[in-house]
Amino acid sequence: MIETLKQISLANRVNRLADLTEGTKQIKGDFEGSVTGYWVKIGDSGEGIVTYNNKQYSTKPIGFISIPKGTEVELSYANGIYYSKF
């Protein structure tokens, strides 16, 4: 999992440098880096639902265990996708 997060971080850096070089605007998430969110549930399409700052995010979960509602999770944004890690 750490290797996956490193790859996501590297991809974000490369994209940001390319955007700065080319002068294009990058689509940004609601926050930078990773934040602590709270697990809600698995959605109907298999996506993870996480709350952060009273907003629900549809995420791509990194992990394959069952966790209870309200558990703290790491919420990250990369390349237009929110990821939740627990």
Alpha-carbon 55 to chain mean position: 14
Q: Which of the four pLDDT bands, split at 50, 70 and 90, describes residue 38?
A: very high
Domains and CATH numbers, the chain: 2-85 (2.40.50)
| pTM greater than 0.75 (yes/no) | no
Contact 8, 76 (CB under 8 A): yes
Give the pLDDT confidence score for residue 1 in this predicted structure. Answer: 67
Give the pLDDT confidence score for residue 26 in this predicted structure. Answer: 59
